[in-house]
Amino acid sequence: MSAAVPTRAEIGAAAVAIAPYVRRTPVLDAVVGGHPATLKLELLQHAGSFKPRGAFASVLAASTRPERLVAASGGNHGLAVAHVGATLGIPAEIFVPATAPAVKVAGLRARGARVHQVGATYAEAYAASADAAAAPGALALHAYDAPLTVTGQGTLGRELEEQVVALGAEAPDTVVVAVGGGGLAGGVAAWFAGTPTRVVAVEPTGCPTLHAALAAGEPVAVAPGGVAADSLGASRIGAIGFAALRHATSVLVEDADVLDARRWLWDELRLVAEPGGAAAVAALRSGAYVPAPGERVAVVVCGANTDPSDLVREHRAGG
C-alpha cells in the first residue's frame, strides 16, 4: 500500500462526495475523568461506526461502477461495506474471522452481504479474501491501509473541527482517538497536520500496533488480543496510518479501563459503545492521558456494534 498521507484538500473533496450518504454525527460536551471534553458521537454513524466514510469515499471514486464489493474485516469495516453495497445496489462479499462477534455477523447478513468466516484473525480473513478480490468486476476495499479509506476517515476530523468552531469555540487543542489499523486516527491526524491541534492515539495494551511501531521506528507485527480485538485487532499498523501518526502522542489503556469507559458511557450518557468505541474515553478516565488546565479536548467515540446484553453483564460484574 502507498504510504502517502492524504492532504486537507483531498479530505475536503471526499467530504463533499460522501455528504449525501453519511450522517453528520453530533457532538456533546461532558466531563470525562474530571476534564471537560467534547465527545464526537461517531458511534451513531450508519452501520454503527466511522467506517462508512472510507468505504463510500472508495466506491464513489472508482473509475467504473464495481460489480461486487469485497472486504476482509474484524466486523465493522464489513458492516460498512455491506451498508455501502446495499445503499448503492452493489453486492458485497465479506470475509471475517471465525471469532467475529455474532452481533456483527448477523448485521452483515441482515444487510444482504455474502459472509465467509475464515481463520482466527483479521490477517487470516484478509488472506482468504484474495481470490474474490482479484475476480473481474470486483472492488477490494481495504479496512484501513488504502489512500481513499484513510481520506474518507479523515472527514471525521474535518467535521469535528467545523462543529466545534460553529459552537463558538476554537478548534480543539487535542483530539483523542482510538487506533486499530490506523485508518481513522491516521485520517484525523492528516486533517489536522500543520495545525496546532495534536492527536492522542489510544490503544488497549493487547492491541498496541502503533505503540510498537513507534518504538521500533517502523510497522511491526503484534499478536492482537483483549476485549477490543474485534475492532482494534489489526496485527500491524497500516503504512499510511503510521506515516500520519509518527508525531502523535501514543498511550495505552488496560482492558479494565476500556470496560470502565464503556460502563460510564452507558451510566452517564445512555450510549451503548463497543469496547473499541470506548477506548479513547478510557484514556481520560484512567489517566493514561491527562489534559493540561484549560486544554480543549475532543474525544471520538467511534463504534457501537455490540450486544447490549454484554454491557448489562459487565455492569453487574463491575458493581
Taking all residues of the chain, what is their mean pLDDT, rounded to a whole number? Answer: 94
CB contact set of 86 (below 8 Å; sequence gap of 6+): 92, 111, 112
Mean pLDDT, to the nearest integer, of 196-224? 97
**E strands within the chain?**
27-32, 35-41, 68-72, 92-96, 114-117, 138-140, 174-178, 198-204, 249-253, 297-301
Cell numbers found for residue 158: 474535518
Structure confidence at residue 100 (pLDDT): 85
Confidence of residue 144 (pLDDT cuts 50, 70, 90): very high
Average pLDDT over residues 169-192: 97
pLDDT band at 128 (very low <50, low <70, confident <90, very high): very high
Place 3 in a pLDDT band, splitting at 50, 70 and 90: confident
| pLDDT band, very low/low/confident/very high, at 312 (cuts 50, 70, 90) | low
Distances (CA, A) of 211 to 177, 193, 250, 298: 14, 20, 6, 21
Residues 8-48: pLDDT tens digits?
A: 999 999 999 999 999 999 999 999 999 999 999 999 999 99
Q: Which residue has the cell 470496560?
A: 259
What is the distance between the alpha carbons of residues 88 and 311, in angstroms, rounded to a whole number?
A: 33
Rounded Cα gap, residues 47 and 193, in angstroms: 28
pLDDT of 310 reads 72
| Domain 52-140 top-level CATH class | alpha beta
pLDDT at 152 over 80: yes
Question: Per-residue pLDDT tens for 70-125?
Answer: 999 888 999 999 999 999 999 999 999 898 888 889 999 999 999 999 998 888 99
Report domain extents, the chain. Answer: 8-49+146-318, 52-140
Q: Are strands 249-253 and 297-301 parallel, antiparallel or unpaired?
A: unpaired
Judged against a pLDDT cut of 60, whether residue 314 lies above it is answered with no
What's the CA gap between 188 and 182, in Å, rounded?
A: 10
Q: Using CA atoms, how far apart are residues 18 and 20, in angstroms rounded to an integer?
A: 6
More confident of the two residues 182 and 102: 182
pLDDT, greater one: 169 or 156 = 156
How far is the C-alpha of 165 from the C-alpha of 161, rounded, in Å? 6
Rounded CA separation 212/309 (Å): 33
Same fold, 8-49+146-318 and 52-140: yes
pLDDT value at residue 169: 86
- pLDDT tens-digit readout, 245-274: 999 999 999 999 999 999 999 999 999 999
Q: Report whether pLDDT(313) > 90.
A: no
pLDDT score of 316 more than 60:
no
Of all residues in the chain, the percent with pLDDT exceeding 90 is 86
Confidence at residue 142, expressed as pLDDT on a 0 to 100 scale: 94
Which DSSP symbol is given to 303? B
pLDDT at 166 over 90: yes
What is the dotted CATH code of the domain comprising 8-49+146-318?
3.40.50.1100
CA distance 39 to 300: 6
pTM of the full predicted structure?
0.93
